[in-house]
């Protein structure tokens, strides 16, 4: 059954307003949508303070140092991206409204908007949102510590039992998630804005909610409320923080879930429409599982990149000979190990026995020593499942290189493991820059 498109302007422009309500929940698991606690829009709560900001800045500064690569926006290979979708189509919503036999006076629905294509009104970028997150229409983009979901806008409709549309609107929602690299904390900020509102749409409320789901996950911070009129250009945002508490040496998984719901004004029976946000990408928090006495969280489905630079040729502080060896090995091996363009990723192992077996296979004690000042270097790395004794058997490279370059490169690989919390069986790439 198709909805008619006759619009009845039941509310004069500006005569009635609605409010966006981002409603926090403190439940951990199982996940349930909470009842709305207010008809208002959430704004971020109290600032987390300069200590958190300074810590975050130090983490980013560390990640920019040589050997600890900046994170790239390549998508994770083999990982399906979640979808934002309504619980039902507009036709299904109309059928359920009619089947309610008078319980509801009006029905509502969300549908993917054609606004940018048909009306020439491409929405402006989101203020205060990272530029890499402002690419509309891509379901998800993320780093090792940040994720962003920004689908196309959504058309909203409110209609009577005959299917006559009496109000329309266009709504956009953005979700930005953060995993703290040096704390057992994750955060989600939901941004909601109204791109247009016509007719009876103006007398309802939009309610956005979010929750964390996972082992020992609990909400630790939630935003406060303030009303926002539902007029073109209105917007609201709210930030939640959650924590988890893995045991020493363990890693726990958590997710963010949430949704956007339309509700009618008091005294008017409107069947609500719900737009489900997907589970966020998996967030993993560990306590000392990297082999260091540190804690932190990451998006493990983003595969980080370990960079080495050919220009760093200083005999004592450089890595150029190690970088050249990796570059040559990536060119000659059948699997082009670690090269993102055409090769297979490397996978870290934390097994001492596997690392030792890889080293002994590549650089056995029976191997004649190289020239003075050199040491035996192997690729793929001994700390991966692609080492010379396992997947890389018969498809690896060994070379005597400057002993300082060999040691420096190995230390920087360890730094990368720690900075990006690369655990056993985590994938990563290796990139050589001039």
227-277 pLDDT, tens per residue? 566 678 888 888 999 999 998 999 998 888 888 888 777 788 888 888 887
**In the structure, what pLDDT confidence band is assigned to residue 153 with cuts at 50, 70 and 90?**
confident
Q: What is the percentage of the chain residues whose pLDDT exceeds 70?
A: 75
Closest C-alpha among 12, 195, 204 to residue 109: 204
Q: Which of 202-211, 232-241, 243-252, 308-317 has the lowest mean pLDDT?
A: 202-211
Q: What digits encode the pLDDT tens for the residues 71-114? A: 333 333 334 445 566 778 899 999 999 999 889 999 999 888 76
Residue 151 CA neighbour count, 13 Å, CB half:
21
Q: CA torsion sign, 349 to 350 to 354 to 356? A: positive
Q: Which residues contact 245 (CB under 8 A, 6 or more apart)?
A: 184, 216, 252, 287
Reduce the DSSP state of residue 147 to 3 states and report it: strand
Q: And the tokens for 371?
A: 């020239």
Please answer whether residues 408 and 322 qualify as being in contact, where contact means their C-beta atoms are separated by less than 8 angstroms.
yes
Closest C-alpha among 416, 116, 86, 135 to residue 275: 86
Q: What digits encode the pLDDT tens for the residues 341-385? A: 999 999 999 999 999 999 999 999 999 999 999 999 999 999 999
**pTM for the complete prediction?**
0.76
Q: Domain locations in the chain?
A: 19-287, 305-433
Angle separating helix axes 403-419 and 320-332, nearest 10 degrees: 80
Q: If you average pLDDT over residues 129-144, what whole number do you get? A: 73
> Does the pLDDT value for residue 408 go beyond 80?
yes
Q: pLDDT at position 32, please?
A: 32
Please answer whether residues 404 and 412 qualify as being in contact, where contact means their C-beta atoms are separated by less than 8 angstroms.
no
């Amino acid at each position: 059954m198709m909805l008619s498109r006759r619009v009845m302007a039941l509310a004069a422009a500006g005569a009635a307003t609605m409010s966006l309500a981002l409603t926090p929940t403190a439940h951990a698991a199982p996940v349930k949508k909470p009842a709305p606690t207010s008809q208002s829009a959430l704004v971020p709560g109290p600032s987390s303070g300069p200590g958190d900001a300074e810590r975050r800045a130090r983490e980013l500064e560390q990640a920019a140092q040589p050997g600890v690569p900046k994170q790239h926006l390549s998508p994770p290979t083999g990982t399906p991206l979640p979808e934002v979708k309504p619980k039902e189509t507009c036709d299904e919503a109309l059928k359920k409204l009619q089947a309610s036999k008078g319980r509801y006076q009006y029905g509502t629905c969300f549908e993917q908007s054609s606004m940018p294509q048909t009306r020439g009104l491409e929405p402006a970028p989101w203020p205060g949102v990272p530029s890499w997150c402002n690419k509309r229409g891509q379901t998800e983009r993320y780093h090792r510590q940040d994720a962003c979901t920004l689908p196309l806008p959504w058309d909203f409709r409110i209609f009577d039992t005959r299917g006559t549309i009496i109000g329309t609107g266009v709504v956009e929602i953005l979700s930005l998630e953060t995993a703290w690299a040096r704390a057992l904390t994750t955060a989600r900020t939901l941004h909601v804005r109204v791109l247009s509102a016509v007719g009876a749409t103006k007398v309802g409320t939009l309610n956005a909610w979010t929750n964390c789901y996972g082992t020992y996950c609990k909400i630790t911070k939630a935003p406060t409320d303030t009303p926002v009129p539902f007029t073109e250009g209105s917007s609201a945002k709210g930030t939640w923080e959650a924590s988890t508490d893995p045991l020493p040496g363990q890693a726990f998984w958590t997710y963010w879930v949430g949704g956007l719901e339309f509700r009618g004004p008091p005294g008017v029976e409107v069947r609500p429409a719900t737009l489900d946000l997907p589970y966020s990408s998996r967030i993993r928090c560990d306590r000392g599982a990297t082999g260091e006495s540190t804690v932190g969280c990451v998006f493990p489905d983003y595969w980080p990149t370990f960079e080495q630079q050919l220009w760093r040729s200083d005999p004592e502080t450089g890595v150029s000979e190690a970088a050249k060896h990796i570059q040559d090995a990536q060119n000659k091996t059948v699997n082009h190990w670690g090269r993102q363009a055409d090769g297979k990723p490397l996978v870290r192992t934390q097994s001492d026995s596997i690392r030792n077996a890889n080293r002994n296979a590549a650089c056995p004690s029976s191997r004649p020593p190289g020239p003075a000042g050199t040491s035996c270097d192997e690729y793929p790395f001994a700390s991966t499942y692609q080492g010379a004794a396992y997947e890389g058997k018969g498809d690896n490279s060994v070379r005597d290189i400057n002993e300082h370059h060999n040691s420096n490169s190995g230390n920087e690989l360890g730094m990368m493991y720690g900075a990006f919390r690369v655990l056993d069986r985590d994938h990563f790439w290796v990139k050589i820059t001039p």
